[in-house]
Amino acid sequence: MSRQPRPVRVALGERSYDIHIAAGALDHAGALLRPHLRGKALVVADATVARLHGGRLAAALAAAGIAATVATFPAGEPSKTVATAETMWRACAEARIGRDDAVIGFGGGVSGDLAGFVAACWMRGVAFAQIPTTLLAMVDSSVGGKTGVNSAAGKNLVGAFKQPVAVVIDPALVASMDRREYRAGLAEVLKYGVINDPAFLAWQEAHAEALEAGEPAAVAHAVAESCRIKAWYVGEDETEQGVRAHLNYGHTFGHALERHTGYRTYLHGEAVGIGMRMAAVLAGRLGLLDDDGLARRQDALLARYRLPAEHAGSPTTVPALVAACGLDKKVAGGRMRFVLPRRTGTVETVAVDDAEAVAAAFAAAIRA
Ligand SMILES: NC(=O)c1ccc[n+]([C@@H]2O[C@H](COP(=O)([O-])OP(=O)(O)OC[C@H]3O[C@@H](n4cnc5c(N)ncnc54)[C@H](O)[C@@H]3O)[C@@H](O)[C@H]2O)c1
């Protein structure tokens, strides 16, 4: 590894764990995981990631004396199902994964969510480790223990909290990512600055082009800062009873947009980016947002990350989206709940019953 910075710690008492972040960490994954694994491992990876990077992981595990079997599934969100989990459980049986063994999620958020769910259920819970390979998985889904699958009832409704024993992140792996997928991950990076850390937001303003271009040092720094912030929320509120919900900034609007477009138009991060714009507009309309330039800075960074700024809709789009919000799982007591900015680095969860203001927020980022 070129550098070995101090790992980021997720502080959860006996279930605390480290996030190891370094370019080249994939080649040291065995050594980094060895102290946390008692036996052998099943690696759950999508077929694309297994093809691109599976050989290096296999070599790293073998070098550390970890006997591993790789089980693959077709890449993509449609694979995040109980049916795929069932296939992975069969692979667990074939590889004789027992109580002392482990499941390793290797890939993007789909692999991590699926592998964690497989680990949480197999033998009522075996050890689980995460090796994320997309920017979104590095900065978000691999940290915090939310795992699960999609079902006919909706996305991510079936799952378990299953904290990993360790997370190994090699930020250099983003180099092989599709550019659009990579940029979508930057929306979550931007989110951390907006909701929690003015200094990180300012750093992004100083390095936006380097980050957008995937310049290794910028990526490594952004991943480490994002993980530090996410780890803080998880340590404060593991099961999202309170402050962890702030990580959903932009997501209520974004989910409505994704549902409205049948999950075909936007990558998740792209919808979240547009949702963040809408959240800032709503906060302004409700008189919650200090006039400190946050909305302008957020818009500027979204543009520099080359993320879409508005949705191309029709006159019926806004009412349809307001209705779609009503279906969002974050609804409480009939009022819509939104995470809204107060000022740079500070957000809060607000129950909103002003449907007109919500409609105006949607309209602000919809081009007819
Ligand atoms: N658990 C959580 O807290 C949490 C948080 C956010 C999102 N998620 C979930 O994450 C999922 C989305 O994750 P994602 O965006 O990583 O999608 P993904 O796992 O489908 O990966 C996207 C694509 O990138 C490919 N890929 C992965 N790494 C690569 C690499 N290094 N080089 C080249 N190609 C690579 C994959 O094969 C796939 O085709 C969703 O299911 C979402 O619900 C979970």
What average pLDDT is seen over the chain? 95
User: 216-236 and 179-196 are packed helices; what angle lies between their axes, rounded to 10 degrees?
Assistant: 50
Domain with CATH 1.20.1090.10 in the chain: 179-367
The helix (H) or strand (E) run that includes residue 338 is strand 336-343
- What CA–CA distance (Å, rounded) separates 310 from 78? 26
- What CA–CA distance (Å, rounded) separates 70 from 368? 48
CA atoms 286, 292, 298, 299: torsion sign: positive
Q: Using a 6 Å cutoff on CB, does residue 173 contact ligand 1?
A: yes
Annotation marks residue 329 as catalytic: no
Cβ neighbours around 6 below 10 Å, total = 9
The whole-number pLDDT of residue 334 equals: 61
Residue of 28, 207, 228, 230 with catalytic role: 230
What's the token pair of residue 58? 């296999």
Q: Provide the pLDDT confidence category of residue 42 given band limits of 50, 70 and 90.
A: very high
Q: Can you tell me which atom of ligand 1 is nearest the CA of 184?
A: 15
Q: Provide the pLDDT confidence category of residue 330 given band limits of 50, 70 and 90.
A: very low
pLDDT, tens only, 274-295: 999 999 999 999 999 998 899 9
- Whether 113 contacts 80, CB under 8 Å: yes
The whole-number pLDDT of residue 283 equals: 97
Among 196, 194, 177, 112, residue whose Cα is nearest residue 146:
112
Q: Provide the pLDDT confidence category of residue 333 given band limits of 50, 70 and 90.
A: low
User: Does the structure show a pLDDT above 50 at 2?
Assistant: no
Q: Using a 6 Å cutoff on CB, does residue 141 contact ligand 1?
A: yes
- Whether 344 contacts 297, CB under 8 Å: yes
Domain with CATH 3.40.50.1970 in the chain: 8-175
User: Does the structure show a pLDDT above 50 at 329?
Assistant: no
User: Does the structure show a pLDDT above 50 at 312?
Assistant: yes
Helix (H, G, I), strand (E, B) or coil at 102: strand
The whole-number pLDDT of residue 324 equals: 76
What's the token pair of residue 82? 């109980």
The mean pLDDT of 140-162, rounded to a whole number, is: 95
136 C-alpha to ligand 1 centroid (Å): 6
CATH code of 8-175, in short, is 3.40.50.1970
The whole-number pLDDT of residue 322 equals: 85
**Whether pTM exceeds 0.85:** yes
Q: Provide the pLDDT confidence category of residue 1 given band limits of 50, 70 and 90.
A: very low
Nearest CA to ligand 1 atom 34: 177
Among 201, 217, 25, residue whose Cα is nearest residue 130:
25
Annotation marks residue 86 as catalytic: no
User: Does the structure show a pLDDT above 80 at 131?
Assistant: yes
Q: List, in sequence order, every residue forming a beta bridge with 43; answer none if it has no partner.
A: 70, 104
User: Does the structure show a pLDDT above 50 at 328?
Assistant: no
DSSP secondary structure of 249-289: TTHHHHHHHHHHTTTTS--HHHHHHHHHHHHHHHHHHTT-S
- Whether 347 contacts 195, CB under 8 Å: yes
Nearest CA to ligand 1 atom 19: 108
Residue of 28, 80, 251, 277 with catalytic role: 251
Q: Using a 6 Å cutoff on CB, does residue 144 contact ligand 1?
A: yes
Q: What are φ and ψ of residue 44, in 5° steps?
A: -100, 115
- What CA–CA distance (Å, rounded) separates 67 from 98? 13
Annotation marks residue 188 as catalytic: yes
If one compares 352 and 33, the residue with the highest pLDDT of the two is 33
Q: Which of 69-83, 179-193, 211-225, 321-335 has the lowest mean pLDDT?
A: 321-335
The whole-number pLDDT of residue 325 equals: 72
If one compares 46 and 337, the residue with the highest pLDDT of the two is 46
CATH code of 179-367, in short, is 1.20.1090.10
Among 110, 111, 147, 263, the mutation site with the greatest number of ligand 1 atoms within 8 A of its Cβ is 110
Q: Using a 6 Å cutoff on CB, does residue 111 contact ligand 1?
A: yes
